[in-house]
Amino acid sequence: MIDRRTLTTAIGIGAAAALPVGALPAAAATEAAAAPQAGPRRAPATPGGRPGFGALKQVRAGVLDIGYAEAGPAHGPVVVCLHGWPYDIHSFADVAPLLADAGYRVIVPYLRGHGTTAFLSAQTVRNAQQSAVALDVIALMDALKIPEAVLAGFDWGSRTAAVVAALWPGRVKALVPVGGYLVTQVAAQKDPLPPRAERTWWYQYYFATERGRTAMETRRNRHDLCRLVWEEASPTWEFDDSTFERTAAAFDHPDHAAIVVHNYRWRLGLADGERRYDRYERLLATRPPVTVPSLTLAPALDPFLPTTDGSAYRHLFTGPYEHRVLPGVGHNTPQEAPQEFARAVLDADRL
């Protein structure tokens, strides 16, 4: 049993295996070894005085040497927390201690192209299509001998967690995806969104140009672009310079620009994926349901969400399910609202 007493005090809590990894083809098996409300604002985010993460760990997993933070008891039930772009592991710097105190082993990896995660070979394609990134998680779990885990994420992390849950449900005990079902259908991306929604995604179209690629390859432009996305995506979050700089260090990575640009170009159908992932992408194009227990979060101030009631994706979660709206919270949900995020993880594990 998990000791929930500490987490209850801290955050006020009341208390079918499609495509098993063993069935992967040889190449992939190698890689796998409610309405918006303003709400009260939280205290400004400052790294000062926080314990943060201790020394990072590294493990060879699939095509990567993955850097990750770990907290909590070594033999506790596992939670894998997945960040997005332009973010890093520090989005979970306040979530991880809450879950660790509740008895969980918390694993927070850097995505490919971020922080201390590096490709093992210079010849590996710098690919960021959704199934490739999802297989990174499977490879990480295999390398750490984790048979199943709760997966929780936002932004790219939501998508990655949902892909793993949809294709390998036997590896996922429960799921907490911010924004719901974010699995990409490349063909559907050809249809334009309403103009206001299109404007929100300005950087996606910027990265479709060589001008955008050059900006991402230039440190000052990359730094300022990422900070602007933070400000727009979390309109009332009062983060300070040191909070942003702590994360921005993860973008000073030789493959960062290539990974980010490929991710957004691939989603729009402007860049090819690798043929080795075609079987997974064909399955994902059918919008496979998530059958594992899931608790979806909708931050009310997230500019990327057209609505927060979850009705657009409710039918895609066919297992035990709960949906929550977070008033006064923007896109970087775990860092803006760590207590609410930790509570969602704990409650999803009890569905």
- 3-state secondary structure (DSSP) of residue 37: coil
pLDDT at residue 51, rounded to an integer: 55
Residue 248: which of 230, 271, 269, 272 has the closest Cα? 230
pLDDT at residue 59, rounded to an integer: 98
Rounded Cα distance between 180 and 317, Å, is 9
Rounded Cα distance between 12 and 140, Å, is 32
Identity of residue 286:
T
pTM over 0.85: yes
Residue 107: which of 135, 131, 72 has the closest Cα? 72
Rounded Cα distance between 128 and 267, Å, is 10
For the chain, the first-to-last Cα distance in angstroms comes to 15
pLDDT at residue 32, rounded to an integer: 40
pLDDT at residue 216, rounded to an integer: 97
Neighbours of 286 (CB within 10 A): 10
DSSP 198-251: HHHTHHHHHTTSHHHHHHHHSHHHHHHHHHHHHHHHSTT--B-HHHHHHHHGGG
- β-strand partners of 317: 290
pLDDT at residue 197, rounded to an integer: 87
Name the CA radius of gyration of the chain, rounded. Answer: 19
Alpha carbon distances (Å) from 206 to 187, 199, 226: 20, 11, 13
Neighbours of 289 (CB within 10 A): 14
Neighbours of 211 (CB within 10 A): 10
Write out the chain's pLDDT in tens, 351 residues: 444 443 444 445 433 334 433 344 333 444 444 333 333 334 344 444 455 788 999 999 999 999 999 999 999 999 999 999 999 999 999 999 999 999 999 999 999 999 999 999 999 999 999 999 999 999 999 999 999 999 999 999 999 999 999 999 999 999 999 999 999 998 888 888 889 889 999 999 999 999 999 999 999 999 999 999 999 999 999 999 999 999 999 999 999 999 999 999 999 999 999 999 999 999 999 999 999 999 999 999 999 999 999 999 999 999 999 999 999 999 999 999 999 999 999 999 999
Alpha carbon distances (Å) from 163 to 32, 39, 191, 258: 14, 32, 22, 22
- Containing 81, the helix (H) or strand (E) segment is strand 78-82
Show contacts of 125-129: CB within 8 Å, 24+ apart. Answer: 125/274, 126/255, 126/258, 126/259, 126/262, 127/262, 127/266, 127/273, 127/274, 127/277, 128/259, 128/260, 128/262, 128/263, 128/266, 129/262, 129/263, 129/266, 129/273, 129/274, 129/277, 129/281
Would you call the peptide bond into 97 cis, given omega within 30 degrees of 0 as the criterion? no
Residues shown for the chain: 351
- 3-state secondary structure (DSSP) of residue 124: coil
Contact 164, 172 (CB under 8 A): yes
